Amino acid sequence: MSTSIGVVVTEHIVAGRLSGPLGQQKLVGERLRFPEDPADTESLIGLPTGELYDLLTSLIATLAASSEEPLDAIGIAVPGIVRNGVVEDSPNLAQIKGERMASALGVVLARQGIHAPVYVLNDADAVAAGLAARGGHLDRLIRVWTLGNGIGYGRWPQIDGVWEGGHTVVTLDPKEKFCGCGGLGHVEGIMGNRAMRLRFLDMEPEEVFAAAKAGDQRCRDFVDLWHRALAAATASAIHLGGPGRFYYTGHNIRFLDQNQLRDLLEAMVKMSPLQSYSIELLQTTPSASSAQP
């Protein structure tokens, strides 16, 4: 038996306690969330790092106190480039860029009497690792796209590399400049929430997709571009890493038309040894999605 605490930091913080034999751990007890309203996606943007560590520590301390079991590990998943516990860059959570997060958080936790080792990894990599472990497919290549404020790309098995798939260039149009990292033509510059708000200024992403359904031509064109961007980034991943299973998850898969994505991918991947890929949409937790407008 082992007990660990997993914390995912994206637009929200969600923390839970896991227990069970290694490789078969399951979430036990309640999940803690900040902010409590899942529709609030702005609370963490600009929150000073010290306050973020205090917040994480209070969530972890609450979960640790809910069990008698000794705590073996704490895993923190954050968006961005993370190597050896250091957040090298994080365009959508800019305050943690350069943070030695694993050791800094470890110090704050130790002050509260919590001494378990802290591991920090990329959020999409964490999803891929979790999926691989859950399905018992630790030997199989799994890739995950997370669609939210930013576009995350994760893979299992973890191998050395940067894997910033959300910044895959999918268009040569010089007007496509809305990516949070500042780069031209990136998939996140089309699909990310921030990018969609910059493009439409007076419309929220959900309003854009609703207007497209209602027949608005500009919005329909954009929804088409949005799907093309994801298909292009996925096709590039297939052409570089080979076929395999792709999962799509995150708050914004509510906008994703799986058939449209499938049709676009078919048009983009033509070499027969590469056509054995598969795609699957992974709904976020029911409690989170049911509260969405």
Binding site for Zn ion (CB under 5 A): 167, 179, 181, 183, 186
CA distances from 250 to 11, 108, 255, 288 (A): 10, 29, 10, 10
Nearer to Zn ion, 20 or 183 (CB): 183
CA distances from 214 to 218, 220, 223, 226, 256 (A): 11, 9, 12, 17, 16
Closest CB 166 distance from Zn ion, rounded Å = 7
Nearer to Zn ion, 61 or 198 (CB): 198
Closest CB 167 distance from Zn ion, rounded Å = 4
Q: State the Cα–Cα distance between residues 31 and 14, nearest whole angstrom.
A: 7
Nearer to Zn ion, 183 or 241 (CB): 183
From the list 90, 93, 120, 92, the residue with the least C-alpha distance to 105 is: 120
Nearer to Zn ion, 6 or 80 (CB): 80
Closest CB 219 distance from Zn ion, rounded Å = 23
Nearer to Zn ion, 186 or 227 (CB): 186
Q: CB of 137 within 8 A of CB of 155? A: no
Closest CB 186 distance from Zn ion, rounded Å = 4
105-125 burial: b if 16+ Cβ within 10 Å, else e: bbebbeeeebebebbbbbbbb
Residues making up the chain, counted from first to last:
293
* 18: CB partners within 8 A, 6+ apart: 3, 4, 5, 6, 25, 26, 27, 28
Closest CB 144 distance from Zn ion, rounded Å = 18
Question: What are the backbone angles phi and psi of residue 183, rounded to the nearest 5°?
Answer: -75, 155
Nearer to Zn ion, 6 or 165 (CB): 165
Closest CB 176 distance from Zn ion, rounded Å = 10
Nearer to Zn ion, 35 or 183 (CB): 183
Closest CB 45 distance from Zn ion, rounded Å = 17
Closest CB 197 distance from Zn ion, rounded Å = 16
For residue 91, the tally of other CB atoms under 10 A from its CB is 22
Q: What is the DSSP letter of 167?
A: G
Give residue for tokens 């395999």: 244
Nearer to Zn ion, 3 or 122 (CB): 122
